[in-house]
Amino acid sequence: MSLPRLLIDGDTLKLEEILQVARHEVTVELAPEAAARVRASRALVDKVAAGDEPSYGINTGFGTLAEVRIDKKDLRELQRNLILSHAAGVGSPLPLGEARALLLLRCNVLAKGYSGIRSETLQLALEMLNRDVVPVVPERGSVGASGDLAPLAHLALVFIGEGEAFYQGQRLPARQALERAGLQPVVLEAKEGLALVNGTQAMCAVGTLLQMRAELLADMADLAGTMTLEGLLGSHKPFIPEIHEVRAHPGQKTCAAHLRRLLAGSDLVETHVNCSKVQDPYSLRCMPQVHGAARDGLSFARRVLEVEVNSATDNPLVFVDSERIVSGGNFHGQPVSLALDVAAMALTQLSAISERRVEQLVNPSLSGLPPFLAKNSGLNSGFMIAQVTSAALVAESRILSHPASVDSIPSSAGREDHVSMGMTAALKARQVAEFTRSCLAIEMLVAAQALDYRQPVKAGRGPQAAYELIRRKVPTMEKDRELHRDISAVSELIDSGELLAAVKAAV
């Protein structure tokens, strides 16, 4: 069965479409208007390359070697040497989805027509995507200016038949991977090497997939919180609309409305209408304020990414209308670096408040339930160490939330004297998302045990649907067992989207 088609034009790519390409759910083609722009910009580069005037990256060296003129006969070797010398990354390869996103984002910026790439080079990149040839790109080695040089150089290696690539999931020498896919490497012409390595596409590739995951986790945090609230017989009153209308932060209002939808139809709330408790702890009562602030932080990160993935981040930029090729600084990753630092901090707050709710569940002096929710506490430890694991993940997330965007280590003999550390911010945020998912899985697992004690009275429609799905995968803990298996099972329900789908169907 043929896959749906995605046209890219350099201007209108959506984050959701990047996720589709990362998952290999669509084929990618160049929009006709973009193809025309690419040809026009290439014609101007060819004109300049044929002349004698120095032009950065076309007939000069790079970085602090920009004043070194290169003979016309050496222009091909100049571009090849650029790719080879800049492929200095280390560490694990980017996961396949992130590497596919990286390749797509590079195609999209080239499609804008400001890079001077040849049509055949861009077409090779698109065919690699469609035929599942995915470059091996080490995670580390970028300081975020002149963009993500090392990761993009590893991506470009495959274009010239060097380096390594995955073909249909198998890691191979690049030339062999291309051959199996029915493709041939290219010989780079003037400026093409530079057009392939300048830009913020690596931090954006990791950042975009992180952003999509973070938005899911924001919904899951609300769900986990409602499960805990119902398990602890908490009040629904702090979520009434009037409270949030008078402090109108968008994320807070969105979260409160989401909590109300999830909790609608609760029978449990009717069981404690006249209880003596006046107020719930902040981790329950202030979910709209804390989760909402995280949502606002993620909204900021989304806006930055939506702009960046459709921006010209090459250097120099080729302006056809004015026939100018101009050096600038659009490759600097500071906007993305700051946004992804905010995303990491937002996620850390979701995990931190989740861990505090787990403490409310397992601490008998706070919950009114058996110690650590164990059926025979003392003989059984119950969920004692689940809370410890959550605390460990939160502690590490707090360390990872130290912002990369305020750091800078000058490079290239002082020419690149302020850098963004954007890829560092992306990798840190990605790890925080992984920890946050695990913290929320732990909370849901523990909250399900609390809801066991409240049955047969039903929770609100959202938490009740989550409880029932979890119980189909993970039975009630009657006596101690290996908790890591249960945490993994709930984590899989979150990652697969199965939990979200079940709750949406119920709500």
CATH of the domain at 220: 1.20.200.10
First to last CA, the chain: 34
Q: Do 82 and 148 lie in a common domain?
A: yes
Tell me the C-alpha distance between 156 and 164, whole Å: 10
Tell me if 83 sits within 8 A of 155, measured CB to CB. Answer: no
Tell me the C-alpha distance between 445 and 426, whole Å: 29
Q: Given this model, what pLDDT does residue 66 score?
A: 58
Task: Tell me the angle at which helices 32-50 and 119-130 cross, rounded to the nearest 10 degrees.
Answer: 140
Sign of CA dihedral 11, 98, 220, 282: negative
Q: Give the tokens for residue 254.
A: 């969105």
What domain range includes position 277? 207-506
Structurally, the chain folds into a number of domains equal to: 2
- List the catalytic residue out of 56, 114, 167, 467: 56
Residue given tokens 């590739």 in the structure block: 205
Tell me the C-alpha distance between 118 and 190, whole Å: 10
Q: Given this model, what pLDDT does residue 414 score?
A: 80
Tell me the C-alpha distance between 39 and 4, whole Å: 26
Q: Given this model, what pLDDT does residue 355 score?
A: 98
For 166, the enclosing helix (H) or strand (E) is: strand 164-167
Q: Do 375 and 263 lie in a common domain?
A: yes
DSSP state string for 298-351: HHHHHHHHHHHTTS---SSEEETTTTEEE---TT--HHHHHHHHHHHHHHHHHH
Burial 11-42 (b: 16+ CB within 10 A, else e): eebebebbbbbbeeebbbbbbeebbebbeebb
Q: Do 184 and 251 lie in a common domain?
A: no
Q: Do 108 and 247 lie in a common domain?
A: no
Q: Do 306 and 446 lie in a common domain?
A: yes
Q: What is the 3-state secondary structure (H, E, C) of 219-250?
A: HHHHHHHHHHHHHCCCCCHHHCHHHHHCCCCH
Q: Do 191 and 224 lie in a common domain?
A: no
DSSP class of 453: T
Amino acid 252 reads Q
Tell me the C-alpha distance between 32 and 251, whole Å: 39
Q: Given this model, what pLDDT does residue 352 score?
A: 98
Q: Given this model, what pLDDT does residue 67 score?
A: 65
Catalytic, 114? Answer: no
- Spans of the chain, pLDDT less than 70: 1, 61-68, 276
Q: Given this model, what pLDDT does residue 412 score?
A: 83
pLDDT per residue over 411-455, tens digit each?
A: 888 888 899 999 999 999 999 999 999 999 999 999 999 999 999
Q: Given this model, what pLDDT does residue 304 score?
A: 98
Q: Do 388 and 351 lie in a common domain?
A: yes
Residue given tokens 């694990």 in the structure block: 92
Tell me if 33 sits within 8 A of 112, measured CB to CB. Answer: no
Tell me the C-alpha distance between 84 and 187, whole Å: 13
Of 198, 219, 242, which closes a domain? 198
Q: Given this model, what pLDDT does residue 61 score?
A: 64
Amino acid 225 reads G
Q: Given this model, what pLDDT does residue 502 score?
A: 97
Q: Do 226 and 144 lie in a common domain?
A: no
Q: Do 174 and 223 lie in a common domain?
A: no
Tell me the C-alpha distance between 150 and 136, whole Å: 12
Of 198, 227, 244, which closes a domain? 198
Mapped onto helix, strand or coil, the DSSP state of residue 93 is: strand
Q: Do 162 and 276 lie in a common domain?
A: no
Q: Given this model, what pLDDT does residue 50 score?
A: 84
Q: Do 18 and 65 lie in a common domain?
A: yes
Tell me if 111 sits within 8 A of 6, measured CB to CB. Answer: no
Q: Given this model, what pLDDT does residue 161 score?
A: 98
Q: Do 238 and 180 lie in a common domain?
A: no
Tell me the C-alpha distance between 77 and 298, whole Å: 44
Residue 13 sits in a domain whose CATH number is: 1.10.275.10
Q: Given this model, what pLDDT does residue 65 score?
A: 61
